[in-house]
Structure 1
Amino acid sequence: MNLVLQGPQASTDTLARLAQLARPARSLPLGAHALRCEDLPYSPTLRAEIEQAAFAAGVDASFIEAGRSLRDFGLVAMDMDSTLITIECIDEIADMQGLKPQVAEITEAAMRGELDFAASLTRRVALLEGLDASALQRVYDERLRISPGGEAMLAAVQAAGLKTLLVSGGFTFFTERLRERFKLDYAHANVLEVQDGKLTGRVIGGIVDAEEKKRTVQRVCAELGIPTSRAIVMGDGANDLQMMGVAGLSVAFRAKPVVRAQASVALNFSGLDGLLTILA
């Protein structure tokens, strides 16, 4: 096993101190704020100790099998809200109705895994009934921002020949615009019903919940002719866990504790392009 230590503010001294805990055979700098420790005496106890110390120091500690690189994979699948983008779109739409606190509270509980996702989405969308559909464009124009490192990560994986999938429990209004903007290969999300220029408070068709996200990753991998072990899946919430569970590499990005605990690697401080450092 190798250990990759990285953090946007990480000093050389901090990285060296954390590396000493791992007792690697050798260490290799990966730029100014990252270090790879090679050939570790790996154990779950050592991993827990290093991850705790790194988190306290504002550093991401990623254990990865030696020799793994982007070339080992054929697909990068990403959640949208709070992963590829910094916001939860439904919370910002609700803000146009003056209902952001109520909706955000439900969103947060669902992402922690405390509420059934499909039921929670139905409740939240119902609160949007009567809102002018132009609010969606306002959210996209005024509030939607790409997460740090997102554009660099996408450019690199596409240049390496990997296909890209945006799969979201959010809405096609946003996923389709992002798909076109970044030339993504696939996108799948919920469809908000609009009548007479206003949201009806309903979703058309089935809800993209945790199970559907997993099926989507499996379906796209089958279409590409690759096993799901050649997929990288990135997410932040409990409804991402099933699709992360079938991936060859799962990445928890600024994620809830329940997701960090189950992911292959976690990026708590680095941008999405931290994936490139891990697989360098």
Structure 2
Amino acid sequence: MPLILQSLAPLSPADLDTARTLARASALVPRSDTVAVAEDCAPLTPALRDALDDFCGPRAIDWAVVPAGRKLSDFRLVAMDMDSTLITIECIDEIADFCGLKAEVSAITEAAMRGEITDFNESLRRRVALLKGLDAAVLDRVYAERLRLSPGAERMLQTVQALGLKTLLVSGGFVHFTDQLKPRLKLDFTRANTLEIVDGKLTGNVVGEIVNAEVKARTVQEVCAQIGATPDQAIVMGDGSNDLKMMAVAGLSVAFRAKPVVRAQASVAFNHVGLDGLLALFPH
């Protein structure tokens, strides 16, 4: 199985040689200053995983072992979480900042993403309830002033779209943001939660079915069926425990700057490179 190393900075020959030795590969061949590939590494045992983590982590190198023989164009769908994955912020935390409750809401968000709060529905309701009475115009301010795409997002999306892959943004966040990102990024499908707004104010309630871990996984499966693909042809990218179930049904799961519980269960972890690190994992 191929081993891929990638970094934001040039990879040094010494680091490549040490990684090659750890992985018992015959050669680590540079593809560019920042990407190198070994076509034959040792089986990915827990011991090898720990050794690569221990060596690569302090050097800001991301490593991945991927199935041999697959091309990026063999996949049919790229599904992404939104908050802290496709974008750099947690929208609900930034909304809460406008009513002076960012610290309180952020603490609940972090606990939920780490998996410490197992009832996502309850954690979302608790956070949204704190927003009651806030002017809905704040949502537009968060989008305009604070929402930023994660590094590499546009390059990754443009490349996979050019290869014919469909794209899905599925979020435990809010449709106010996914609806604006959909045309901006030419996304094919989106799903998220709806904040109830009455007379221009947030009521503190969520309307309809909450997009929790089960709904995320179901949405990935439904979109795969809709486009005539199998879940094994899906790539799923996420950062929090709410993403684990949809990542588990995918052919490839990518933990993006993720919580430890997510990194431990994902096929691949990007702790340093951008979302376009996906493009280095497979021939196109």
* Partner SS, residue 180 of structure 2: helix
Give the equivalent residue in structure 2 for 1:269.
272
- 1:30 & 1:189 partners in 2: Cα distance? 38
Amino acid at match of 2:135: D
| Structure 1 residues 200-242: Cα deviation after superposition (integer angstroms, max 9, x where no partner) | 0001101000000000001000111111000000000000000
Contact kept in structure 2, 1:140 and 1:174, CA below 8 Å = yes
Alignment of 1:41-190 (within 5 A): 41-44=42-45, 45-115=47-117, 116-190=119-193
> Is the Cα–Cα contact under 8 Å of residues 16 and 28 in structure 2 kept in the other structure?
no
Given residue 124 of structure 1, which amino acid in structure 2 is its aligned partner? R
With normalisation by structure 1, the TM-score equals 0.98
Residues 173 and 191, structure 1, Cα contact 8 Å, conserved in 2: yes
**Structure 1 equivalent of residue 11 of structure 2:** 11
Q: Give the conservation status (yes or no) of the 8 Å contact 1:30–1:277.
A: no
Q: Within 1, Cα distance between the matches of 2:243 and 2:44?
A: 27
Give the alignment partner of residue 233 of structure 1, picking from 232, 236, 244. Answer: 236
Q: Which whole-Å deviations, capped at 9, do the CAs of 1:136-191 have from their partners, x for residues lacking one?
A: 00000000000000000000000010000000000000001001101100000000
| TM-score normalised by L of structure 2 | 0.96
Q: Which runs of 5+ in 2 are unaligned?
A: none
Partner of 1:223: 226
State the shift of 1:10 in Å: 4.3
How far is 1:21 from its partner? Answer: 1.7
What is the SS of the residue equivalent to 2:275? coil
CA distance in 1, matches of 2:147, 2:220: 25
Query: Greater CA deviation, 222-231 or 35-44?
Result: 35-44
Shift of 1:278: 1.1
Identity, % of aligned positions: 60
Give the structure 1 partner of residue 33 of structure 2: 32
Q: The residue matched to 2:3 in structure 1 has which SS?
A: strand
Which consecutive aligned stretches of 4+ in structure 1 deviate over 3 angstroms post-superposition? none
2:250 maps to 1:247: yes
Once residues 224 and 46 of structure 1 are traced to their aligned partners in structure 2, the CA distance between those partners, rounded to angstroms, is 37
Give the length in aligned residue pairs: 280
What root-mean-square deviation, in Å, do the aligned CA atoms of Structure 1 and Structure 2 show? 1.0
Deviations for 1:238-263, whole angstroms, at most 9, x for unmatched residues?
Answer: 00000000000000000000000000
Deviates more, 1:86-95 or 1:15-24: 15-24
Tell me how far apart the structure 2 counterparts of residues 16 and 236 of structure 1 sit (CA, whole Å).
Answer: 31
